[in-house]
Amino acid sequence: MKGNKAVKLSLFAITWPIFIDIMLHMLMGNADTLMLSQYSDHSVAAVGLTNQLLSIVIVMFGFVATGATVVIAQSLGAKLQKTAAEVAVVAILGNLIFGLIISGVLVIWGDVFLKWMNTPPELMDEATSYLMIVGGFAFIESVIMSAGAAIRSNGFTKDAMFVTIGMNILNVVGNYLFIFGAFGFPVLGVEGVAISTSFSRFLGLIVILFLLFKRSPFPLPFKQSFKLFPTHIKSVLKIGLPSAGEHLSYSGSQMIVTLFITMLGTTALTTKVYTFNIMMFIFLFAVAIGQGTQIIIGHLIGAKSYDKAYKTCLRSQTYAMIISFLMAGVASLFARPLLSIFTDNPEILHEGTKLLYLTLLLEPGRSFNLVIISSLRAAGDVKFPIMMGIISMWGVSVPLAYLLGIVFDLGLAGIWIAFAADEWLRGLFMLWRWKKRGWERKFLIKREATA
């Protein structure tokens, strides 16, 4: 396979498998929520709260995968297939070591983290059980993320999609067996969902590693991975660490806002979980476009096609913004029926409907960040997004959420308005940064360091 394959592919060809892949990852979480909603609303809240913590763990794994995506894409764009293969194995080794450490921390101190999150007493047992199992095997996801990043950067986005399809099927079957006790299986509730999630990921790991060996344009030097580690980990972390900082800042701010929501009660927390499960399908389009654009721009910059990279980002942003607004419109029109899939609680239905109407304001702003930050990252410009993210998330989103949601007693609606203010402020600054084109100089420095 030629190293500049992603340049030759259209945005649609790169993006649609990523779209389905991400959608299925979201469906895995939604399947847990939907199937548990037939079991207990408290179980839903427990899993939703725990996943807030696990999302930070996934972000931490993502910094290696993100850095690897950019370095591999730029290497392939520059036709450096051997370097791309070496970076892939270094990323897998790095994330495996990191994943084992994080899994151990979650098993030993997981209940402490849940107490820090102000977990309601009635949710503590189920939340702890879920965290011990899913968190204990989190290292599996860390390796999947690195291997998936390498496959996608090579242009084989459909392979990662098929792996996710398989994992989702296994997860749903496992949920059915353990939640409803089918075919004589024990009814384990939250614990069963955790077992199903972890087992499906383990099988997915085996398949995705096989596909990586098959698809790599250059033999993967796993036997030399420890020797190669010092050579390539610096370039991966140069992109990955600042990117992780931005994601961690977001996840951290979301955790603080979740603490505010717990002040509003378990019903508000459950409403937030159900509404987010619907919202994920709205911004999923922008996420997929952002990730596809990142791969293409990485290849383009590796090939020194700067003007084409500039136009590709702006065109992708236009698509993402339009689609996000249209999807938010559809969700708001069918808000009550969509929420009714999860619950018949009238208070949740009323509050959730208001939140979905507010997505018309929130999601177009979010599209700027999902697409343009990915493009800046692909070009090596990673410091500005994290600086702006910290300023906006902690200077706007968190204090405004508390002010509107708690002090002014607007509840979840006030918190959603704070989210929208943060997304639009950061998004417009990202657009300004891209149009200045300072990222071209950022990449030249990185190229000299890794060539």
- The answer to whether the CB of 343 falls within 8 A of the CB of 37 is yes
What's the pLDDT score for residue 1? 40
pLDDT value of residue 26? 67
Domain ranges of the chain: 5-450
One-letter amino acid at 291 equals: Q
Which residue, among 11, 39, 81, 30, has the nearest Cα to 289 in the 3D structure?
Answer: 11
C-alpha–C-alpha distance, residues 289 and 10, integer Å = 12
End-to-end CA distance of the chain: 21
Rg (CA), the chain: 21
User: Which among 73, 397, 122 has a CA at the least distance from the CA of 252?
Assistant: 397
Closest CA to 343 of 72, 110, 34: 34
Q: What's the CA dihedral at 178, 180, 184, 188 to 10 degrees?
A: 40
Instruction: Mark 13-26 as b/e (b = at least 16 C-beta within 10 Å).
Output: ebbbbbbbbbbbbb
pLDDT value, residue 331? 94
Neighbours of 44 (CB within 10 A): 27
From first to last of the 451 residues of the chain, give the pLDDT tens digit: 444 454 456 788 888 898 888 887 766 666 777 788 777 878 888 887 888 788 778 878 888 888 898 889 888 888 888 888 999 999 999 999 999 999 999 999 988 988 888 888 888 998 899 999 999 999 999 999 999 999 988 888 889 899 989 998 999 899 889 988 888 889 888 899 899 999 999 999 999 999 998 888 788 898 888 998 888 888 888 888 888 788 778 878 988 999 999 899 889 988 998 898 889 889 889 999 999 999 999 989 888 889 999 999 999 999 999 999 999 999 999 999 999 988 899 999 999 999 999 999 999 999 999 999 999 999 989 889 999 999 999 999 999 999 999 999 999 999 999 999 999 999 999 999 999 998 887 653 344 333 3
Q: What is the DSSP letter of 395?
A: I
C-alpha to C-alpha distance for 122 and 433, rounded to whole angstroms:
47
Q: What is the pLDDT of residue 351?
A: 94
Length of the chain: 451
- Say if residues 155 and 1 touch (Cβ distance below 8 Å): yes
The DSSP code for 224 is: G
Structure tokens at 376: 């800046």
CA distance 343 to 417: 24
Q: How far apart are CA 209 and CA 347, in angstroms?
A: 46
pLDDT of 334 reads: 95
Amino acid of residue 5: K
Give the span between the Cα atoms of 154 and 144, in whole angstroms. Answer: 15
CA distance 415 to 155: 39
| pLDDT at residue 376, rounded to an integer | 94
Residues 6+ apart with CB under 8 A from 277: 26, 29, 30, 33, 342
pLDDT of residue 9: 61
How far apart, in whole angstroms, are the C-alpha atoms of residue 174 and residue 204?
A: 14
Q: Measure the CA–CA gap between 203 and 7, rounded to whole angstroms.
A: 32
Residue 379 has phi, psi (to 5 degrees) of -90, -5
